[in-house]
Chain A
């Protein structure tokens, strides 16, 4: 089931009222992750693939951010150790 669906189709598999589903959809819409058509009655919903991908990608991005920071920390610790050793041998 890709493309466009109605709120009732979306809500069908869950024990959730239509107003509750609509409320969640409004949040997703305001976050730019879901778009809704203007066609009168049934206002179909669809995923905004680009923003949705950016949103799920943040974790990959920040995992890399921290992995690389930690790599730099490892290198930095080595230079501190070398410095300590060199200082020690001088003194």
Chain B
């Protein structure tokens, strides 16, 4: 379990995978510009790491470019490092951002939290490494929290569009 961080609350998004790679190398893949650019982002996207001040409070700023329905498009983001504990744990606040690193709202998801607390943990399993990414809304407004919390419902098969669901949802807030 992640340690409680003040400002983080509500739904936890978690994704994990085991890699055929020793933990020290995995740590470098997450922390060095050239490595980050080589894998971060979905299939077909080209990622550039514009800066990486790798220290607590420092920023990593990136751009991602890809084709959507045949048209070139891009967006970018920023990580602000909060905890750097090699080779086990990396914690940063993610936001959408312009190329200078100024935070922006989500380009197509209204109400998406401006800040996501990302806790990445690396567990050594011999020569292999299990990576776990945990996301929580950070210093979110109630409206942002509602949008983030809605992700929980997709795991239950999505919203039925009925008011029983809405009532249940209101009660869960």
A interacts with B: yes
* Size bracket, chain A contacts: 35 or more
The A contact surface, by secondary structure, is helix
Q: Is the CB of A56 within 8 A of B109?
A: no
Check if A10 sits within 8 Å of B166, measured CB to CB.
Answer: yes
B67 smallest CB distance to A (angstroms)? 15
Report the tally of A-B residue pairs with Cβ distances under 8 A.
Answer: 130
Whether A71 sits at the interface, judged by CB under 8 Å, is yes
Q: What is the 8 Å Cβ interface bit string for chain A, positions 19-45, against chain B (1 contact, 0 not)?
A: 001001101101111100000000001
A27: contacting residue among B38, B131, B143, B151, CB under 8 A: B143
B interface residue numbers (CB < 8 A to A): 13, 15, 17, 19-21, 25, 29, 35, 38-43, 109-112, 131, 133, 135, 142-144, 146-148, 150-155, 158-159, 161-164, 166-167, 170-171, 173
Please name 6 further chain A to chain B contacts, defined as beta carbons within 8 Å, in addition to the given A1-B162, A9-B163, A28-B146, sorted by A numbering: A10-B167, A31-B144, A47-B166, A59-B151, A72-B38, A77-B21
